[in-house]
Structure 1
């Protein structure tokens, strides 16, 4: 596994991160154990989590596995707060009280006294940004968090947040921004990537396989056991099941045939070469899927393939 610094900070992470959104849900305790072992054996360090994942079951399961295997010192635990379940609905809450309550819950469930990276999961337009960012500052100052970042912020929100924190007495910087980024979603390149570069922040990419589309699984239709066939997820995936995005997948398929690797390998290799990307977060329902994704570490794209993928993805919009 290769490792990178997160932006201009001293935080070092594996450039492929283990996503745990399905832990405690579609990924049970046995599968989660296999995935964690596989990830660590591959040299992975960065584990992305949140108290909302697995309908609240993720972090308790992950904490049990960390304790059982005695691997806390081998992990860079990256948590988030800002989404919460209330009345059967998932809602945003960027208030200081909720964020710090969620942090304390994460620490208890994960069985640790600190998170290596703590991120605001989403901006909350109903709460002053200063209040939300103040929770990050307080968490670092009280020793419960080592580094802080944001997630799903626009470019202008990122700049304002970093500038506000930099002007504080403790000057605690945001080291990372986490956004959806892939060959079928290059929107971050418009504002977020330039902002991150200017502000010295690393980028953590979620859904680097375009909600599963860039695995190639939908080339011949929609498998019955896929997210695109699952109520509640079908619209989420369907956004990328368009003729233009299909052209991107076919370009990946041609490249994968020429290189003798999988379509997913090419998609991940492309992303890992993009400016400011510190890590791509790969989540999987099975250990075999995770193993396939981790094998992208060994793929280097020739310049002409990288350029061809740039061109076809730009044309797809």
Structure 2
């Protein structure tokens, strides 16, 4: 698998990341082991989780596998903090106390002495930003974290945080932002992508298959064995089942038929090669789904097909992103 630089850092990661949001829920420990082994054998390195996934069970499964199946140093381990985990003053949020408590919990569940990429899962408007970012500095200077990133930040939030960290050489620079990005969700192109480019952050794209809708399996009905048929993910999938999405899915199916490949391959290759994207994060429920995603490595979309997909999925823009007074 090809590897890419993550932002302006020296960290190189596989251009496809393995997401673990379903681990401990729809994906049990045995299936997770198969997924991690398959990903590792394909040359994948970046594995993403979060302290809030299944109340920490996802991290725990991954930690167990890093002691029994895959050498720790073969994996670039990414996790997140900020989301509410437990009641109490340190059970969630982006205060210094909450973040450092969350970090210690992640290290314990993952059974490691450091996190390679620690990400702020969301913006917390109730905490001064300098306090939140100082916790990242503490995590790095104590050796518990190697690199820092953010997730689900808007463009102005990204720019504010990155500017603060870049203002002094002793602060930890942000190297990545993890956001939803697919042919069905291109909102980041208005503000987040330009801000990430300007400040040197690589983009990690979650839900690159449009929460499964871009595979085409939801065109006519909800398959009983799909994520959309479960009570815990039904609304997650339904979010992208719109008339606009149906038109885009039809275009993806047409492109896949013309290329002799699958809709998933087309949708994933499109995201992978978008400007600013370092890696899509694929959260497969099964090893079979993961193998399908890994096969995308051999596909590069022809310019004409890419242009057609760009056109049909283009996000609506207006002032000031598209300023008529500018050349």
Distance of 1:39 and 1:228 partners within structure 2: 24
> 1:159-210, CA deviations, whole angstroms, 9 ceiling, x for partnerless residues?
0001111123503210001100000000000000000111111000001111
Runs of 4+ in structure 1 over 6 Å off: none
The equivalent of 2:322 in structure 1 is none
The equivalent of 1:99 in structure 2 is 99
Aligned partners of 2:86 and 2:92 also within 8 Å: no
Distance of 2:249 and 2:316 partners within structure 1: 11
Give the TM-score taking structure 1 as reference length. 0.96
Confirm or deny that 1:196 pairs with 2:196. Answer: yes
> 1:82-131, CA deviations, whole angstroms, 9 ceiling, x for partnerless residues?
112236xxx85111111111111111111211111111011111111111
| Cα shift at 1:13 | 0.2
Distance of 1:21 and 1:71 partners within structure 2: 21
Give the TM-score taking structure 2 as reference length. 0.93
Count of aligned pairs: 314
Distance of 1:104 and 1:247 partners within structure 2: 46
The equivalent of 2:52 in structure 1 is 52
Distance of 2:301 and 2:221 partners within structure 1: 28
Distance of 2:67 and 2:167 partners within structure 1: 39
Aligned partners of 1:193 and 1:276 also within 8 Å: yes
Matches within 5 A, 1:131-142: 131-142=131-142
The range that moved more, 29-38 or 47-56, is 47-56
| Cα shift at 1:142 | 0.8
Matches within 5 A, 1:1-317: 1-86=1-86, 93-314=93-314
Distance of 1:316 and 1:258 partners within structure 2: 28
Aligned partners of 1:25 and 1:55 also within 8 Å: no
Distance of 1:98 and 1:142 partners within structure 2: 17
| Cα shift at 1:71 | 1.3
> 1:37-63, CA deviations, whole angstroms, 9 ceiling, x for partnerless residues?
000011000000111112321111111
Distance of 1:78 and 1:296 partners within structure 2: 22
| Cα shift at 1:70 | 4.4
Please, which runs of 5 or more residues in structure 2 have no aligned partner? Answer: 318-327
Please, which runs of 5 or more residues in structure 1 have no aligned partner? Answer: none
